[in-house]
Structure 1
Amino acid sequence: MIKDLFVEFYGQTGLQVISIIANTAVYWLPLVLAYALLRAWTAYVRLDYFYNQDYLLLEIKLPRELTKSPQAMEIFFASLYYTGGESTFIDRGWDGKTRPWWSLELVSLEGQVHFYIWTRAFFKNMIQAQIYAQYPSVEIHEADDYTRGVYCNNKTMSMWGCYFRKDKKKPDAYPIKTYVDYGLDKTSVEEEEKVDPMSAVLEYLSSIGKGEQIWIQIIMRAHTEEKPIPDLVFGKKDWKASASKEIDKIMKRDKKPKKDEKETINFGEFLLTKGERAKVEAMERNLGKLPFDCGIRGMYIANNENFDAISIPGLIGSFRQYSSNDLNEIKFYDWTDFDYPWQDFRNMRKDYMKRKILAAYKARSFFYPPHKKKHFVLSSEELATIFHLPGKAVETPSLNRVVSRKAEAPANLPT
């Protein structure tokens, strides 16, 4: 009877397909089970490895006078390009090791702006040394985690969160507008004449009041070359391969001729418009930088009586000044809200999304389950543009700057 019903709904062909699958199960089922067990084991040992690491939060306090360009932060990020830890199958599959990741955090607590770097404790001394090498006058100290006292409780607290990424319609090889485009790499420009794109973000962060918090988190790790996968199968190429393909397309380069074909002269480079040439130059400059896998979250949290919905558009627009019509931009997605009431019965989905993004933020997790999200690639230049220590050109009063200035003692002091 069951067989007759199946044939009635799916036909004789469907029955034949099911029969083939059942008869060959002895061959493919063990492989499927082995793969599932391997995935489960990898997830277990990886979580065990994560939870047995020590982590800490470092706060960077800015001096009154800081004249370094974002290039100093770019040099610091070069020291974080660390691909070790997962070199062998034993490291990855048995010990659960992964290459390290870091969290760069711009935080406003009731209008007071803070710069944080979250890291494994193992890298504390290295991070401090590299920051001091570029910014000798800053202060770095271990801070309490500001996220610990925050919980998803609708009775006392309101929150809104979202994720950010590059425009998914364009390859990551297209860079955003960077500090080089703003002229911050030029030492000849006076400090007062500089236009720092981070000033808009810092002014927004300092605009909130009592009972309000804004968190912006940039998770980063060294990007390693992905295995070549045919475009026809997954529509995906590695970052560098994708960039080279885009450059070839813009420059109208022909494919390499076959052995029996004669090589022809390509005039594509000479036919480029000014805009096309600028695109190629920007992508080639970006390719010369170190790439990082990145994920960005943003959250606005406030007591119910202090919640101000006008702060949400400010969070959404935090990265708008890095947008370029010809190149790329950073857009928000996966926000914790819905357009229509029938999309979320009794706010159950919204509450779940709030708890999920808050837990992911607290864990500083992005690349692995249970908080895995699709990452994108930013170069060290792009990263230094959206996260660097601002100079005197940014006069936001709520920046947590150090009053005193450090200086070395004279060498001729008597001992």
Structure 2
Amino acid sequence: MTDQFADLTYKLEMFGISLLIVLICVSLGVGLLYVAFLLWKYRNREKRSLSYVLLQIAVPRENEIKIDAAEQMFASLYGLYNKKWWAFLQPQDHIAFEIVARREDIRFYVSVPKNLMDLVEKQIHGAYPGADIKEVEEYSIFSKEGKVAFVPLVLKYSNYFPIRTYKDLPTDSLSSITSVLAKMQEGEGAVIQILIQPANDRWRMNGHSFISKIKKDEANPEKANFKVDQKTLESINQKVQKTGFNTVVRIVVTSATKEQAEMHLKNILASFDQFSSDNNEFREIRFFLKYVFMIDFIYRYFPVVNIPFYKQSSVLNSDELATLFHLPNKTVETPHIFWLNAKRAPAPMLIPESGLFLGLSKYRGVERPIYIGDDDRRRHMYVIGKTGTGKSQLLEELVMQDINAGKGVAVIDPHGDLITGIMSRMPVSRAE
């Protein structure tokens, strides 16, 4: 009997070990398949990042548009969400909003996929009709000798718990942030990078489930403890009523010394304290691999995975995003903000469609060639601008058009540089 019991125990132990080995192998297999799927899904990650377009946004100093316009802008951008059933097979589009500060210069940028540029421009113009949006080259705040301090931020508690928004703040949140950024000195720079991506409804469902559970517990005398007050439930309910975005917040500072960079970073983080509410706030993430973080920052990569014990993104609704990023109005008196000094206007309808080509008119995504007719050229024309703005280059291009068209041209140049440029481009057919 004892031998039979020992034999049965041995068989059970071997079965348990075999089952454990099978479970481990299956888990490893599933894990490897998931990693392989992610590698395939994001195989064109770098190529797609390099196809993004950087747009600079500027508004007039007398801008009176309030922050709620930005809330409407973000809400409309939720339309980028890909709801097709096969959407999980490809990365969801994301957009980067950035505030960039250098010495005596604070600018606002948005980086978008090339195919979404027109759509995003229209949404921004819808919120800020007087804004000037133009495509620019990539900026850089880094230098070879500079030291870098950085930190990513996420919400401290569950995504459905709200932070303070512009509706709760006594002053424009941008005033505090830009006041810190305005202190950059020569060789220093700072970037607040906010990546957004339309979120699915899971966070909203979790919020509704939390509210339902609390109300159900409070209705039961045995479970009621009233640890969550009615005000908190109302604030959660208000947040989940708005569209939500997976959001990544990164702050990067560069300076001549590590201590100075850390000090600027600490001051910027202090300006984010204004967003702390009784329910939620931002917290720092410890990012041990600086190289990986800087690659993600420079390429504006959105995190591939977002695991609960190492959260890299949060869900913010349109109100919260508008509080974090919006264009300044006249109430923001911070120095060194890049304001729009002259508004752009569309080209008039009644202009020549042929003649001497002056350039392209670009207005809100519409390009139109601008010509000056022969009759207009018989009148006086002045080219006015500061030194180095391209007056001579423009005249040279106009002269070369006439030369290439076989027309007679007379050029009087008191300095000789313009003549030298023209002669170096003289076609063989007109050399004599």
1:163 and 2:115 correspond: no
Q: 1:254/1:309 Cα in 2 relative to 1: closer, same or farther (>3 Å)?
A: same
The one-character-per-residue Cα deviations of 1:119-148 (angstroms, maximum 9, x if unpaired) are 11110000001111111111111122224x
Find the counterpart in structure 1 of residue 183 from structure 2.
Answer: 207
Find the counterpart in structure 1 of residue 341 from structure 2.
Answer: 403
Q: Which amino acid in 1 is paired with 2:207?
A: S
SS of 1:81's equivalent? helix
The one-character-per-residue Cα deviations of 1:219-259 (angstroms, maximum 9, x if unpaired) are 11111033xxxxxxxxxxx443235414752796436xxxx
Find the counterpart in structure 1 of residue 199 from structure 2.
Answer: 223
Q: 1:166/1:370 Cα in 2 relative to 1: closer, same or farther (>3 Å)?
A: closer
The one-character-per-residue Cα deviations of 1:283-340 (angstroms, maximum 9, x if unpaired) are 222121111111211111123499454323202213111122x2322222326xxxxx
Q: 1:88/1:357 Cα in 2 relative to 1: closer, same or farther (>3 Å)?
A: same
The one-character-per-residue Cα deviations of 1:349-399 (angstroms, maximum 9, x if unpaired) are xxx633222111112123216999532111110110111112100011211
Q: 1:16/1:359 Cα in 2 relative to 1: closer, same or farther (>3 Å)?
A: farther
Taking the aligned partners of 1:384 and 1:85, their CA distance within structure 2 comes to 22
TM-score, normalised on structure 1? 0.71
SS of 2:74's equivalent? helix
Taking the aligned partners of 1:305 and 1:32, their CA distance within structure 2 comes to 44
1:43 and 2:19 correspond: no
Q: Which moved more, 1:363-372 or 1:307-316?
A: 363-372
Does 1 or 2 have the higher relative contact order (CA < 8 Å, sep 6+)? Answer: 1
Q: Which amino acid in 1 is paired with 2:169?
A: Y
Equivalent pairs: percent with the same residue?
Answer: 24
Taking the aligned partners of 2:81 and 2:306, their CA distance within structure 1 comes to 23
SS of 2:129's equivalent? coil
SS of 2:284's equivalent? strand
Q: 1:414/1:128 Cα in 2 relative to 1: closer, same or farther (>3 Å)?
A: closer
1:327 and 2:279 correspond: yes
1:62 and 2:62 correspond: no
Larger radius of gyration: 2
Which 5+ residue runs of structure 1 have no aligned equivalent? 1-12, 184-194, 227-237, 256-263, 336-351
Q: Compute the displacement of 1:174 (Å).
A: 2.0
Taking the aligned partners of 1:211 and 1:33, their CA distance within structure 2 comes to 49
Find the counterpart in structure 2 of residue 314 from structure 1.
Answer: 267
Taking the aligned partners of 1:138 and 1:333, their CA distance within structure 2 comes to 35
SS of 1:80's equivalent? helix
Q: Compute the displacement of 1:277 (Å).
A: 3.9
The one-character-per-residue Cα deviations of 1:3-56 (angstroms, maximum 9, x if unpaired) are xxxxxxxxxx9997576444785x657744652453243223222232343211
Find the counterpart in structure 1 of residue 98 from structure 2.
Answer: 105
Q: 1:242/1:15 Cα in 2 relative to 1: closer, same or farther (>3 Å)?
A: farther
Find the counterpart in structure 2 of residue 74 from structure 1.
Answer: 71
Contact 1:212 1:306 in 2 (8 A): no
Q: 1:70/1:222 Cα in 2 relative to 1: closer, same or farther (>3 Å)?
A: same
Q: 1:199/1:124 Cα in 2 relative to 1: closer, same or farther (>3 Å)?
A: same
Taking the aligned partners of 2:146 and 2:276, their CA distance within structure 1 comes to 33
Taking the aligned partners of 1:245 and 1:382, their CA distance within structure 2 comes to 20
Find the counterpart in structure 2 of residue 177 from structure 1.
Answer: 164
Q: 1:243/1:114 Cα in 2 relative to 1: closer, same or farther (>3 Å)?
A: farther
Contact 1:367 1:373 in 2 (8 A): no
Q: Compute the displacement of 1:182 (Å).
A: 3.0
